[in-house]
Amino acid sequence: MNPSSRLPWALAGIVTGIAGLATSYAVAMVLTIRESPVVAVAELVIRLTPGALAEQAISLVGQLDKPLLVGGIVLFLLAMFALAGLLARTSWLKPQLVWLGLATVGVVAVLLQRGAGGVDVLPVLVGLLTWVALLPALTAPLRMGESHPELESRERRVFLMVAGVLGVAAVGVAVAGRVVGAGRRHVVESRRLLRLDEVTLPEPPSGVASGLAEVTSWQTPNDDFYLIHTAISVPAIEPKDWRLRIHGMVDRELVLTYDDLIARGLTESWVTLNCVSNEVGGDLIGNAWWSGVRVADLLAEAGVRGDADCVLQTSEDGWNCATPLTALTDDRGAMLAVAMNGRPLPIEHGFPVRTVVPGLYGYVSATKWVVDYEVTRFGDVAAFWTERGWSELGPVKIASRIDVPRSGADVDPGTLDVGGMAWKQHTGIEAVEVALDGGAWERVSLAAAPTEDTWVQWSGTVDVTPGDHTLRVRAIGKDGDVQTGAIADVVPDGATGWHTVDFSVRDE
């Protein structure tokens, strides 16, 4: 078979495959299923990816990891669609096996999602039926042309016309499904209209700014707050549909609605959150004004049994983490947050409800779209990231960062302003020290911090002369803990080391 004769058959497979994806997607939207089977497969890949490989991907491509994953799956599907089309030239059965194999993977991925049921499989089945029925019809003109060479030119024109019509129709079906499924996107409007009367947004406390304009803002705007999660398509939950079940090793099971939660009265505080994947000097950290209900009060109402030591939190999308019970019940003010910086939570940050626990990395505490609390024991459960090599407890490590000067900067000789951030949530920062060119450590000034659960800005000056220089920083906690210079990777429990920047001083 020469390349020119194979191309139409491959194209027939690709058009058929895309049409099946389109009908599958449309059905998912109409039924307001969280997302299409392609997304379900992508999320299954994320769940099955070893922790070290996941961490390497995040460090290489950052927040592009999910778009690249979906793009890779789409490219793989296009290759399989083309293969099915080529196989159709000589066999009826072989392309059906390709379709069946792809559909089987889709069904498994969908059923492994949290809360999936029979209806969630319907989009996959519709897509499969589209593939099975459409490919023979689309390849009929090609088969006719090969059987009757004198008609080949005409039949190819018929094929191209039919393929073009089907391609346009597939796009139309997908768009129509999106329009009909607009009820799902009503969540965005519900959030916009939601009013939380008890929620406030105070001005940042006096004295938290060091006075250096180039230092990161003490309060992180919602749009700038770092975003890490495993969901390809984030859950969209109407507040009226949200439920939290508290069960397991408790005296009485609780099921809370959104209104139940709000009626209990809100607590509010400044809390800094950071990700265990944050490299030394990294920006996977932010500080916001959170509003919510204390978890300790809810667990007390449920009556936790004495031998429990953790709570297995589960998100609407099936992600879970095991959080130390002590961190949820001590004085740090762990909360079920409903608002961030004075507004209902952004959907990407867990709307309508998420968990916020000061002093713990997010992978063991910060469950977005949270719907289930199982009071249990660490020995009896397995959580998403701990199964992939991360440690069990996840307390935040003391850390500091240089924001001024930036690495690679060219500055004037003389007195140089330096500044940045330091943090050790739920312990607090006692002091910050800098060292120039490997010299002695010298203390710098700390701005105010309203609580021990927020980061703190630091600032100072160093005298520099023309040439190349290196500046490093370390923090000292209120518990006497001195930040170590030993370099450690983010796995298994957070990176360590002194943040260091290199800069040059111009000649006078």
Nearest to residue 252, comparing CAs of 294, 293, 295, 299? 299
pLDDT at 34: 59
pLDDT at 6: 81
Structure tokens at 316: 């609407």
pLDDT at 315: 95
Render pLDDT for 385-434 as a digit per residue (tens, 0 to 9). 998 889 999 999 999 999 999 999 999 999 999 999 999 999 999 999 99
Residue with tokens 């379900």: 40
Among 36-50, 55-69, 285-299, which stretch is predicted with the lowest mean pLDDT?
Answer: 55-69
pLDDT at 65: 75
Nearest to residue 178, comparing CAs of 76, 28, 51? 28
Q: How confident is the model at residue 92 (pLDDT cuts 50, 70, 90)?
A: confident
Structure tokens at 481: 């803990």
Q: Residues near 139 by Cβ (< 8 Å), separated by ≥ 6?
A: 9, 12, 85, 88, 89, 159
What average pLDDT does the structure give for the chain? 87
d(CA 255, CA 234): 23
Structure tokens at 254: 């609780």
- Beta strands at 285-294 and 310-315: parallel, antiparallel or unpaired: unpaired
The better pLDDT of the pair 23, 490 is held by 490
Cβ atoms of residues 290 and 473 within 8 Å = no
Instruction: Check residue 229 and report its DSSP letter.
Output: -
Render pLDDT for 325-384 as a digit per residue (tens, 0 to 9). 999 999 989 999 999 999 999 988 999 999 999 999 999 999 999 999 999 999 999 899
Q: How confident is the model at residue 240 (pLDDT cuts 50, 70, 90)?
A: very high
Taking residues 306-333, report their average pLDDT.
94
Taking residues 273-283, report their average pLDDT.
94
Nearest to residue 88, comparing CAs of 157, 16, 22? 16
Taking residues 260-285, report their average pLDDT.
94
Nearest to residue 115, comparing CAs of 391, 382, 287, 316? 316
d(CA 126, CA 401): 53
Q: How confident is the model at residue 1 (pLDDT cuts 50, 70, 90)?
A: very low
The better pLDDT of the pair 150, 49 is held by 49
pLDDT at 463: 95
The better pLDDT of the pair 2, 323 is held by 323
- Residue-wise burial string across 397-424, b where 16 or more C-beta atoms lie within 10 A, e elsewhere: bbbbbbbbbeeeeebeeeebbbbbbbbb
pTM: predicted TM-score of the whole model, two decimal places: 0.74
Q: What percent of the chain has pLDDT over 90?
A: 58
Domain 399-505 fold is Immunoglobulin-like (2.60.40)
Structure tokens at 304: 């936790």
Residues of the chain with CATH 3.90.420.10: 222-388
pLDDT at 155: 52
Q: Backbone phi, then psi, for 203, in 5-degree steps? A: -65, 150
d(CA 388, CA 490): 13
d(CA 431, CA 434): 10
H-assigned helices in 236-294:
258-263
pLDDT at 445 over 70: yes
Render pLDDT for 157-197 as a digit per residue (tens, 0 to 9). 655 565 555 555 556 555 555 554 554 556 767 777 788 88
Render pLDDT for 13-44 as a digit per residue (tens, 0 to 9). 888 898 888 888 877 776 656 567 777 788 88
Cβ atoms of residues 339 and 196 within 8 Å = yes
Q: What is the homologous superfamily of the domain 222-388 according to CATH?
A: Oxidoreductase, molybdopterin-binding domain (3.90.420.10)
Residues of the chain with CATH 2.60.40.650: 399-505
User: What is the DSSP annotation of 427-487?
Assistant: T-EEEEEEEETT---EE-EE---SSTTS-EEEEEEEEE-SEEEEEEEEEEETTSPBPP---
Render pLDDT for 207-237 as a digit per residue (tens, 0 to 9). 999 989 899 999 999 989 998 888 777 788 8
pLDDT at 70: 82
d(CA 285, CA 508): 38
